[in-house]
Amino acid sequence: MADVREAARLLEKAQRVVVFTGAGISAESGVPTFRDALTGLWERFDAQSLATPQAFQDDPDLVWGWYEWRRHRVSSVHPNPGHLAVAAMRNAVVITQNVDDLHERAGSADTVHLHGSLFMPRCAQCGEAAALPSTTGEPDEGRRVWPPSCVRCAGLVRPGVVWFGEALPEAALEAAARAASDCDVLLTVGTSGMVYPAAEIPRLAARSGAAVIQVNPQPTPLDSVALVNLRGSAARVLPDLVATAWPDQAAEDPAAEPS
Ligand code: BV8
Ligand code: ZN
């Protein structure tokens, strides 16, 4: 509790807050974390080898099937109290590594996606934005699905995510770096902090004088960067943090439970 109060004190007096999230914030909604999203058909693959341009080139229906299965899974679940508490942090800049849309569905409309989105497919050849195929409900163990063809050049449509070895969207990376170097407090939630350059964002904030607060049930390489480490789950810790930092707001906002 002392840590939550310390973190709340830092948040309450902050002018500019950044919330930086990873797969852990969506875990309690039932979205498998990146490392856990390997079941059924993809069990014998490792995420980093599937999430690559090479894998899509070699096996387009295996990779497209994986992303359709993940998109279907995300569309069948809901934001949890962690996402809602982040949305309740009125003027916070939300930066995520997640490719799901749960922050937006919780109310964080201008979420910065560093690694793209499951909901923005495009042509792998000419880059033309493509329509989302109607999800027909993917079998739990998953299946190979041949990607749609581009309406402009008949090339293969690929998921609108950033694969390993690919550059991050420039505008998103710049917005994230700017917000991190300008903020007073950066809250990092549910990330193992091991994938770069995204993992640099909390470190950039700390180097720029911001107080970093980490929410994660497990230790991570960010423990030493954080001023306050809150060992707990996002859906449990974040509503408490918001209610303690902004008790009056908690009163009028159903998302925040009174502490
Ligand atoms: C690039 C989209 C070059 C796709 C993803 C420097 C050093 C070392 C390596 C590199 C380096 N720079 C670049 C690299 C290579 C590589 C990299 O970082 N490799 C790592 C693994 C060593 N980076 C790249 O390839 C990047 N591109 O460098 O391009 C370039 C530059 C210019 C021009 C051309 C090329 C691109 C990286 C992006 C890859 N795409 N996702 C998809 O989703 O399929 S990364 C993907 O994995 C996610 O987006 C996320 O970023 C990452 C997973 O991490 P987390 O989100 O943290 O999730 P994880 O499962 O690891 O952990 C969950 C955490 O939550 C845990 O800590 C757990 O304790 C916690 N938790 C669990 N439950 C809860 C919880 N917390 C709170 N509440 C709970 N309930
Ligand atoms: Zn095309």
Query: What DSSP string runs through 10-73?
Result: HHHT-SSEEEEE-THHHHTTTPPPGGG---GGGTTS-HHHHSSHHHHHH-HHHHHHHHHHHHHH
Amino acid identity of residue 148, one-letter, is P
CA dihedral of residues 54, 130, 93, 73 (deg, nearest 10): -70
| Mean pLDDT score across all residues of the chain | 91
Across the range 237-245, mean pLDDT stands at 97
pLDDT digits (tens, 9 = 90+) for 149-165: 999 999 999 999 999 99
Q: How remote is the CA of residue 156 from the centroid of ligand 2, in Å?
A: 7
Cβ of 220 closer than 6 Å to ligand 1, yes or no, is yes
pLDDT at 32: 78
- State how far the Cα of 234 lies from the Cα of 207, in Å rounded to an integer: 25
- State how far the Cα of 175 lies from the Cα of 95, in Å rounded to an integer: 9
* 115 annotated active-site: yes
Identify the band that residue 259 occupies on the pLDDT scale cut at 50, 70 and 90: very low
Q: At what angle do helices 2-12 and 234-245 cross, to 10 degrees?
A: 60
Across the range 54-78, mean pLDDT stands at 93
Cβ of 28 closer than 6 Å to ligand 1, yes or no, is yes
pLDDT at 35: 61
pLDDT digits (tens, 9 = 90+) for 189-236: 999 999 999 999 999 999 999 999 999 999 999 999 999 999 999 999
Cβ of 21 closer than 6 Å to ligand 1, yes or no, is no
From 196, 201, 233, give the residue whose CB has the most ligand 1 atoms within 8 Å, as the site to mutate: 196
Q: How remote is the CA of residue 50 from the centroid of ligand 2, in Å?
A: 22
Pairwise pLDDT comparison (141 vs 168), residue with the higher score:
168
Give the percent of the chain with pLDDT over 90: 80
pLDDT at 42: 64
15 has a pLDDT exceeding 70: yes
DSSP state of 150: P
46 has a pLDDT exceeding 80: no
Across the range 128-132, mean pLDDT stands at 95
Residues 257 and 239: beta-carbon distance below 8 Å: yes
114 has a pLDDT exceeding 90: yes
SS3 state of residue 176: helix
Token match 């934005």: residue? 129
pTM across the whole model: 0.94
pLDDT at 115: 98
Across the range 232-247, mean pLDDT stands at 96
Give the percent of the chain with pLDDT over 70: 88
DSSP state string for 197-221:
TTTHHHHHHHHTTPEEEEE-SS--T
pLDDT at 142: 73
- State how far the Cα of 134 lies from the Cα of 128, in Å rounded to an integer: 18
Residues 188 and 214: beta-carbon distance below 8 Å: yes
pLDDT digits (tens, 9 = 90+) for 22-36: 999 999 999 977 766
